Structure 1
């Protein structure tokens, strides 16, 4: 069995860093890089892309609401066309900086409130996929498993890979528990790792409001911005490898 580990990186701005990207990039196999919406700027993008290139880590664009104060975790009222243009601008910005590094932007993973809204609202998911398809129909999409985002990506003819979250609680709908509700976050690295080992053995994810649900996944997200992120990423990688799981990019490189 093989699984990808991905992390949301490049989420600093100017002189402010968010997390230890260099260390996380020594653990994960795919990097979702902020591209100037919820976080990121040209220099941060360049540094993160360069580190990912040096580590041989696959690179994806991580577009979100242009709301750095709220870190992209608040829904900003926008029309569907505005969402398409916002995503296109952010993906294009990362592609431009990536060209300077010489690394391809191979996939797109929506961020935060935009990702959660797209997970349950097919029209929002379609608006994001319209941007991806028009920019490069060969780019893949990394989507929350079992959501509208998966369906929209497939309908757009895009390659789609599904992810589960190491440190987030789930609802029986397959969506994530909102961060302001009990059970939203898992802070204990051992607990998170044990849940993932069980999921890979059974294909079933525990939820806060019912019986475990079936999900499919080619990737596991380990957040890079949460407290103890590095220790959790290490624990998860080591526990999975001890179970004979190969850690490798979902793109096969």
Structure 2
């Protein structure tokens, strides 16, 4: 049976977290650097346990002012320490609450940079392999980070996006560009089915490129985030596509 994991970034201060939980299978929990704190991490882990949702760490740059979306140059040691501090903080909470940490997904600018920069991707993969070799790594489908993690023997999940447009090289269109987001539910649903069923996506230039789709990201910060999640959940079920954690 064809299936897909539905993931969503959580614990970032959005009011939609509780209402989104029934429609996802894995959550990426902010670890205090770009958003969140110990209390929000505990609350979000509790929600995941309540709904049977896989728990993931969502580390980003230490920059709440810019929500982790501004690039910050770091040495390998600094990056090592920042990633370790964040994931360890969530791991300690999971241990205390008898929950299992399932995966890692980078946030914001760090996610985008590690997707497009081979050297940074290699650095991140090395850090994860050293500290958390047992965890699954969610990363942009076809990215340098997917390749770097696979090269070290890490388990990976190729991530695709319902509401973001794609460039011909498989990268997401930068948010700074006008056509970065898919604005209508119908268009987003069409893209989701194309990626999940056909393993391809239509780029902004109209070209169809091959894409691996293990996990689909749903954003929880939009005005219609919950309705959008319901629509995607419904159409996948309608098409006989299972929704399950990897």
TM-score by length of 2: 0.96
1:108 equivalent in structure 2 = 104
Task: Measure, in 2, the Cα distance between the counterparts of 1:195 and 1:243.
Answer: 14
User: Is the 2:114–2:120 contact (alpha carbons within 8 Å) kept by the matching residues of 1?
Assistant: yes
Q: What is the CA-CA distance between 1:210 and the residue it aligns to?
A: 4.7
1:15 equivalent in structure 2 = none
User: Is the 2:4–2:196 contact (alpha carbons within 8 Å) kept by the matching residues of 1?
Assistant: no
What is the correspondence of 1:203-222 to structure 2 with a 5 Å cutoff?
A: 203-222=199-218
1:177 equivalent in structure 2 = 173
Task: Measure, in 1, the Cα distance between the counterparts of 2:33 and 2:126.
Answer: 18
In structure 1, which of residues 184, 199, 210 is the aligned counterpart of residue 195 of structure 2? 199
- The runs of 5 or more residues in structure 2 that have no matched partner are none
TM-score by length of 1: 0.93
Q: What is the CA-CA distance between 1:206 and the residue it aligns to?
A: 1.1
Task: Measure, in 1, the Cα distance between the counterparts of 2:93 and 2:130.
Answer: 19
2:76 equivalent in structure 1 = 80
1:64 aligns with 2:60: yes
Task: Measure, in 2, the Cα distance between the counterparts of 1:185 and 1:80.
Answer: 32
* Residue deviations 1:68-121 (CA, integer Å, cap 9, x gap): 111111101212321122111111111011112211111101111100000011
Task: Measure, in 2, the Cα distance between the counterparts of 1:224 and 1:60.
Answer: 15
1:54 equivalent in structure 2 = 50
1:29 equivalent in structure 2 = 25
1:143 equivalent in structure 2 = 139
Task: Measure, in 1, the Cα distance between the counterparts of 2:16 and 2:75.
Answer: 35
The ranges of structure 1 where at least 4 consecutive aligned residues each deviate by more than 4 angstroms after the TM superposition are none
- The runs of 5 or more residues in structure 1 that have no matched partner are 13-17
Task: Measure, in 1, the Cα distance between the counterparts of 2:35 and 2:122.
Answer: 23
| Structure 2 residue matching 1:25: 3-state secondary structure | helix
User: Is the 1:59–1:104 contact (alpha carbons within 8 Å) kept by the matching residues of 2?
Assistant: yes
1:11 equivalent in structure 2 = 12
